[in-house]
Structure 1
């Protein structure tokens, strides 16, 4: 029988010695984080401070930008410390805290994209009934469920993972993730695996099912409607579909890399793939929505020029 223990720290073996280049990587990561932080904070402030933007679509966008800020803030400071450090370890409590933040961020993102697709579905398919169907109370409930459901799911998942007896403490990633820790367990992890499938079903497949259903209805209305209806649908749905595709591809890369042997890929490529869905989405969404939504674009422009 293998000896099991509760380790005080985990070693992140995906990091490699880059010599003096580590300072260049540090500056690149710092620049990315500052860009993400400034753009998302700017858009959150713009939406919160302007009453003309207190509409369902913009409130859901505000929730999305808050999640981008939440997802990047737990990751980037940690990466910056690890890049400059010669010893790439993370304490066990911080490792499990990272697992909680990581999956909570992913779950909230998918749920937020799902309620945004539902909002577009009501606006395009039921324009005359939109204001009566999308009430303030309904918006509040949808945003609350978007955040509370992934949070509760991730609390249970993190508790299950932290109670495992482990036979090793080496994780071949640049941050902690649940599957990598579970693979280190000495004993049966059936309960963890089953619950992991439940988490994936509730936080990924259910939102994706709602998104597919709503867009099926939206496309049906577009193809049977007039040119003006099609133009409105394209202008409001394009940023959402682009964001969904970007995040889904990143999450798919992460799942494939975690579940399958990717040793044939270079270490640098594996690191880039694992960071893609955590870095590109927080950068992509502010640019996509900020550039495509005229109300946000005009208010941001006026705010910047007024300060200058």
Structure 2
């Protein structure tokens, strides 16, 4: 596709005509987005500052927080801008950039959650071998894999989509997704569809199966241990399991929204669209902050340090 083709203008029809209710949705989106950004950045700072959290589980969690920032930031600012605009439009180039970051967010979350499940599996099922298996080198290798495959796979997917000739310029969604752009094409490309299926299987279905298998193994081993060991296993796995289920439900809603042409009221349309990119990035740091005892202790420790520092400063003032 030529550079001039990338500069064509696409129109979004899902917003409808400007109305007072748009300001309510704008305020809601802004508040949730800012809270999500704050929660993820705060969690990242806690993990970075506290040396006791420099462990594989929390390093992976740090990357999950980055992933959440990518997902929400790829969509929310654009939606808020469109909610207050008389005309909702975007260039095809900007649309493809948004598709890239949304898909990196979605596939990246699954790969990160998969290595987190693997970490929990090794911790519970092979506790004596944990430190010899989850070495710093191994953690770096896993991080390289969970970042390389989503980025490289989605880069090629977006490239294939960008090569399709456009015959339509209207998107009946709130933001760009790969299927919506593909449907604007004059042709039906078997290669694009086949590659899209491969991406879903390789970076969504397969990781989900690995997570499920890990928890089957964890459950099998936990049932053979003492009540105290079972309680410890449950406390360490619950945040990850809740996070995985939450993201999977968000993905399911997104698939239904993208694949099925439902004639929904504008309000429901907006909420279904935002669920995938707003709710998981908001809930993940909150879930881990509340359910993980180590993080709670570190947060309390940081707050106490700040109070001591503030009190010392007040004395000199």
Normalised by the length of structure 2, the TM-score is 0.92
Conserved 8 A contact 2:14-2:266: yes
Deviation at 1:277, TM superposition (A): 1.4
Q: Deviations over 1:273-293 (max 9, x none)?
A: 122111110111011000111
Deviation at 1:261, TM superposition (A): 2.7
Q: Could you tell me how far apart the structure 2 residues matched to 1:121 and 1:111 are?
A: 15
Deviation at 1:305, TM superposition (A): 4.6
Conserved 8 A contact 2:67-2:105: yes
Larger mean CA deviation between 17-26 and 184-193 belongs to: 17-26
Conserved 8 A contact 2:6-2:93: no
- Is 1:262 the counterpart of 2:262? The answer is yes
Larger mean CA deviation between 165-174 and 298-307 belongs to: 298-307
Q: Could you tell me how far apart the structure 1 residues matched to 2:171 and 2:69 are?
A: 26
Aligned to 1:191: 191
Q: Could you tell me how far apart the structure 1 residues matched to 2:13 and 2:22 are?
A: 16
- Listed as ranges, the matches of 1:269-288 within 5 Å are 269-288=268-287
- Listed as ranges, the matches of 1:280-299 within 5 Å are 280-299=279-298
Q: Could you tell me how far apart the structure 2 residues matched to 1:229 and 1:295 are?
A: 17
Q: Deviations over 1:228-274 (max 9, x none)?
A: 121011101111111111111111111122222312x3232232112
Conserved 8 A contact 1:10-1:171: yes
Aligned to 2:299: 300
Conserved 8 A contact 2:57-2:116: yes
Conserved 8 A contact 1:71-1:101: yes
Q: Could you tell me how far apart the structure 2 residues matched to 1:106 and 1:6 are?
A: 24
5+ unaligned residues in a row in structure 1: which ranges?
A: none
Q: Could you tell me how far apart the structure 1 residues matched to 2:209 and 2:306 are?
A: 44
Secondary structure at 2:166 match in 1: coil
Deviation at 1:218, TM superposition (A): 0.4
Deviation at 1:123, TM superposition (A): 0.4
Q: Could you tell me how far apart the structure 1 residues matched to 2:23 and 2:241 are?
A: 36
- Number of residues of Structure 1 aligned to a counterpart in Structure 2: 303
Deviation at 1:6, TM superposition (A): 6.4
Q: Could you tell me how far apart the structure 2 residues matched to 1:84 and 1:167 are?
A: 28
Q: Could you tell me how far apart the structure 2 residues matched to 1:132 and 1:72 are?
A: 36
Q: Could you tell me how far apart the structure 2 residues matched to 1:254 and 1:26 are?
A: 20
Aligned to 2:26: 26
5+ unaligned residues in a row in structure 2: which ranges?
A: 308-317
Q: Could you tell me how far apart the structure 2 residues matched to 1:28 and 1:269 are?
A: 14
Runs of at least 4 residues of structure 1 off by over 3 A?
304-308
Secondary structure at 1:224 match in 2: coil
Deviation at 1:183, TM superposition (A): 1.2
Aligned to 1:122: 122
Q: Could you tell me how far apart the structure 1 residues matched to 2:113 and 2:6 are?
A: 38
Normalised by the length of structure 1, the TM-score is 0.94
Conserved 8 A contact 1:7-1:166: no
